Amino acid sequence: MITLRKFSLLLFLVTLSIHHLQAQKNIEDYKNEILSEDKMLITTNKAIKLIQESKSEDFKNLFADDIKKNITDSQIKQLIVQLNNLFKTEGIPTDKRDITPSLHASVKGKDTLFLNNINYNYKSSKSLIFSFSKNYGTDKIIGLHLKEKPLNSGNYRPNIKQIESFQFNIDDIKNFRIYYDEGKDKKTKFKNEIGYFVIQGDAEKLKKTGIKSIIENIFSDLSKSKYESVNIFNQPLDRGENPNFIQIEFALKDKPYLISLYLPLKNDQKYSGKIVLMEKEYQNLGYQFILDQNNYTNIVKEFPRILDLKLDNFYEDIP
C-alpha cells in the first residue's frame, strides 16, 4: 500500500513556486486566460502514458524549462515509481466527470498570474493536478501535485541526510535564484518592479552577472560550518512582516537537495543578527540551520554587494 506521506512529498517537488498571494477569482472575468482543455488533456494523457512506461527522460521533458532544470534525474525516477504505485492501487480516473479543468488566479497588486489545471479526481477524495500557464502553452507542464492533506499538517521528515558541513564548490552550481526585497519602504526601481528584484539562471548566467566572485566569497566563509541550531522544517520560511532581506537559492551538481541562504538586512525584524541556511529536499521540507552573523562577517559584508552591481539586464521581467 502506498504511503500518502512519501507520495505527497514527491509530487510537491515539481509544483511551481510563485511569489504571489493566491486568490480565487471569477473565471467569467478571465475567459481569454483559459487554455484549451482538449490540448491540455493531450499533454496530461501523454504524461500518464510516459509514467506508466517509466520513460523518465521523456516525462521530464514535458516540464517547462524553468521547472525542469531544477529537477534531478533521480527525483524524476523516484516520482515515476510513486505515481505508478498510485496507479496500481487506485487506478487512473477515466470518467469525464472525474477529469475537470479549473483556473486559479495568483494576484499581487495589479499583476495576475493564471494557472490552468487539469484535475484527475479520485473516489478517495484525492486529486492529481497538472498545471499549465499561458506563457508556456498547453504542451508544457509547470506543476504537478496530489491534493490531499497539506504537506505541513503531519510529522513529515526529510528522506535526505542532513549535511555535515557547509562546504560548497562554486563550479558545482547548476542553477541559482537571487531574491531581494527592500521591505516596508519600497522605492527603488528594479526594471519593471519597485522595491524588489529576482535574478535567476544557470551557471553561465551567474558568470555573466559578475556575482560569481561574491558567491565564492560567501562559500569560503560558510566553510566554517558553525551553527547555533538545526531543525526540520515542513513549511516555507516565515520571514516576518515586510522584511528587508536578500536570499539566494542554488542547485548543485549530483546533489538531491537545494541550498537556500537568507540574510535579513535590518536589526528590527525576524532573524535579525542571524543567517538562515536551508537544505531543501522540497520547497517546504528539509533542514533549517540558524547561524550567528558574528561568525560570518564576510557573508554579512559580501552578500549586500550584489545591490551595488549594475544588473538591470539580468532582472526578471516578472519576479
Q: What H or E segment, with its residue span, contains residue 214?
A: helix 212-222
pLDDT value, residue 22? 34
pLDDT at 6 > cutoff 50: no
* Distance between start and end Cα atoms, the chain: 41
Lowest-pLDDT range of 122-126, 208-212, 221-225: 122-126
Quick check: 17 pLDDT over 60? no
Q: pLDDT tens-digit profile of 285-306?
A: 889 999 999 999 999 999 999 9
Position 182 pLDDT exceeds 80: yes
What is the overall mean pLDDT for the chain?
83
For the four alpha carbons of 199, 204, 207 and 212, in that order, the dihedral sign comes to positive
C-alpha cell at 86: 498510485
Round to whole Å and give the CA distance between 267 and 272. 5
Cell 472575468 belongs to 29
Residue 24 confidence (pLDDT): 37
At 74-122, the pLDDT tens digits run 888 888 888 888 888 888 988 877 888 887 766 555 566 788 999 898 8
Query: The dihedral of CA 121, 127, 133, 136: what is its sign?
Result: negative
CATH 3.40.50.20 fits 4-149, yes or no: no
Q: Band of the pLDDT at 49, cuts 50, 70, 90?
A: very high
33 within 8 A of 103, measured Cβ to Cβ: yes
Mean per-residue pLDDT for 177-189? 91
Q: What is the pLDDT of residue 140?
A: 95
Q: What is the per-residue pLDDT for 281?
A: 81
What's the CA angle centered on 234, arms 228 and 238, to 5 degrees? Answer: 65
Q: Diameter of the chain by CA atoms?
A: 60
What is the signed CA dihedral for 231, 237, 243, 245, rounded to 10 degrees?
A: 80
**Ranges of each domain in the chain:** 4-149, 170-308
- Cα distances from 197 to residues 35, 188, 299, 300, 319, in angstroms, run 29, 10, 20, 19, 6
DSSP character at residue 70: T
Q: The pTM is what?
A: 0.58
Cα gap 288→262, rounded to integer Å:
11
pLDDT at 31 (0 to 100): 66
Where helices occur in 2-146 by DSSP H, the ranges are 4-12, 37-52, 56-60, 65-68, 73-90
In angstroms, the Cα distances linking 168 to 65, 72, 147, 220, 295 are: 25, 18, 35, 8, 18
Q: What nine digits make up the cell of 5?
A: 506521506
**pLDDT band of 30, cuts 50, 70, 90:** low
Q: Which of 220, 204, 223 is nearest to 301 (CA)?
A: 220
